[in-house]
């Protein structure tokens, strides 16, 4: 079954580059971002993992853990980690899940349930749909899933921007406009009428259209 926004993120126990983890227990009470990759030793994915490692402090200050998944074995992950460190200039400082049985890729609807049950003999092209980022809230619900083609590296600044927006809008009755960045004006939820808005935003707002009321974050 396809996973949608606000669905519960499936739990699993799996081997990783730092030992066996239970996903929900590993998350704890915070946020998590899960990056999936079709195969180890692929060039685009290597650069992505390197950038994630470089930005680990940005995720940490937002209270968000990061974890990768690749359709290969732990032994391969550990060898690949050395290449990633060479490329990024920093160690792979987050777990990389081994999915050599394709179990998690299927659990998260990135591969068909009737596909193979082993990564042996499969190429990155066979696993090309395992290119999804899931943002998961503390209540273990999915707040974003974003799929990328193999040819296009992920934009880490965009993923941080989405994280900022989702965390802000989870706590306040606002939404963020197109191209929004942290610190810029936000939009009052249409469901908030003007009487309630006066209580929530006593300093006022700018009414652009009756349904579009901008307010300082």
For residue range 18-52, what is the model confidence (pLDDT) as tens digits?
A: 999 999 999 999 999 999 999 999 999 999 999 99
- pLDDT reported for residue 5: 96
- pLDDT reported for residue 45: 96
Q: How high does pLDDT run on average in the chain?
A: 96
217 confidence band (pLDDT: 50, 70, 90): confident
How is residue 50 written in tokens? 């390197």
Catalytic residue among 45, 102, 132, 136: 45
- pLDDT reported for residue 2: 83
Q: Is 178 a residue whose pLDDT tops 80?
A: yes
- pLDDT reported for residue 174: 98
Quick check: 38 and 149 in contact, CB under 8 A? Answer: no
Q: How many residues does the chain have?
A: 217
Residues 91-112, mean pLDDT to the nearest whole number = 96
Residue 64 known to be catalytic: no
CB within 8 A of 211, min separation 6: which ones?
A: 190
Quick check: 65 and 50 in contact, CB under 8 A? Answer: no
169 confidence band (pLDDT: 50, 70, 90): very high
How is residue 183 written in tokens? 């610190």
Q: d(Cα 64, Cα 87) in Å, to the nearest integer? A: 24
Residues 7-11, mean pLDDT to the nearest whole number = 98
Tell which wins on pLDDT, 113 or 137.
137
Place of tokens 């396809």: 2
Q: Is 176 a residue whose pLDDT tops 90?
A: yes
Quick check: 42 and 124 in contact, CB under 8 A? Answer: yes
Residue-wise pLDDT tens digits, 145-160? 999 999 999 999 999 9
Q: Specify whether the backbone of 168 is left (phi greater than 0), alpha (psi in -120 to 50) or beta.
A: alpha
1 confidence band (pLDDT: 50, 70, 90): low
Question: What percent of the chain shows pLDDT beyond 70?
Answer: 100
Q: Which of 75, 69, 79, 71 is nearest to 119 (CA)?
A: 71
Question: What percent of the chain shows pLDDT beyond 90?
Answer: 97
Q: d(Cα 95, Cα 73) in Å, to the nearest integer? A: 13
Helix (H) or strand (E) holding 179: none
- pLDDT reported for residue 146: 96
- pLDDT reported for residue 192: 97
């Amino acid at each position: 079954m396809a996973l949608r926004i606000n669905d519960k993120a499936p739990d699993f126990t799996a081997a990783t580059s730092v030992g066996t983890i239970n996903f929900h227990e590993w998350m704890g009470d915070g946020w998590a971002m899960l990056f999936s990759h079709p195969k180890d030793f692929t060039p685009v994915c290597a650069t992505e993992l390197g950038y994630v490692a470089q930005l680990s402090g940005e995720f940490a200050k937002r209270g968000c853990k990061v974890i990768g998944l690749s359709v290969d074995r732990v032994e391969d992950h550990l060898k690949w980690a050395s290449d990633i460190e060479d490329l990024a200039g920093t160690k792979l400082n987050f777990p990389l899940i081994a999915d050599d049985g394709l179990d998690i890729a299927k659990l998260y609807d990135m591969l068909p349930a009737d596909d193979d049950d082993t990564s042996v003999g499969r190429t990155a092209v066979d696993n090309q749909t395992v290119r999804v980022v899931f943002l998961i809230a503390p209540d273990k619900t999915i707040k974003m899933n974003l799929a990328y083609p193999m040819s296009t590296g992920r934009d880490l600044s965009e993923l941080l921007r989405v994280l900022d927006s989702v965390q802000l809008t989870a706590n306040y009755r606002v939404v963020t406009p197109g191209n929004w960045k942290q610190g810029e004006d936000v939009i009052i939820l249409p469901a908030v009428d003007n009487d309630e808005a006066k209580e929530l935003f006593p300093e006022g707002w700018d009414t652009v259209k009756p349904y579009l009321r901008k307010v300082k974050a």
